[in-house]
Amino acid sequence: MLSKSIEEALNRQIKIEGDSSQVYLAMASWAEVQGFEGISTFMFAQSEEERMHMLKLVKYINQRGGQAKISSIVEPVLDLSSYKVLFKQLLEHEIKVSESINDLVGIALDERDYATHNFLQWYVAEQIEEEANARYILDKINLIGDDKGGLYLFDNEMKNFTSPVTTAK
């Protein structure tokens, strides 16, 4: 059985994961309209992945005797001035999600809820991968600079992006 404070913290994380899905969806839509087929494909896939992270939390809370709460959707506020700015925001967003997961782990340890602590280790590993991927992509973008040919190749490669990091999936 989950304590009320753990249940509330996990429910806050459900909102964060849902908001993350919306952020990626907004980025995907922008990229698609701009003609970045690869970037939009990547962002649509990321949006779906974040939704799955949210559903995993919903199931966990409900299976542990709690009540998962689904909150309203908030329109993401993004700077859509360039693909480079987009990926910088992506990294900043993933860092915030990592901080939230780390806070959750701390609460689980404080309450000696080792089942939840164990469950959250998947999210810890996932966030390491998400941040590393964002940094890797930004490194590639910085290498491209203003080269249009490089941008074309980058966008094309993003269609089938595979993480250079060991996956937590």
50 known member of a binding site: yes
53 known member of a binding site: yes
Q: What are phi and psi of 164, to 5 degrees?
A: -80, -5
7 known member of a binding site: no
Rounded-to-integer distance, Cα 127 and Cα 168, Å: 9
- Closest to 126 measured CA to CA, from 71, 49, 29: 49
127 known member of a binding site: yes
111 known member of a binding site: no
Tokens 């969806």 locate to: 25
Question: Other C-beta atoms within 10 Å of 27: how many?
Answer: 27
DSSP assignment of 38-53 equals: HHHHHHHHHHHHHHHH
| Cβ contacts of 135 within 8 Å, gap of 6 or more | 91
Q: Provide the annotated binding site.
A: 17, 50, 53, 94, 127
Q: Provide the annotated binding site for Fe cation.
A: 17, 50, 53, 94, 127
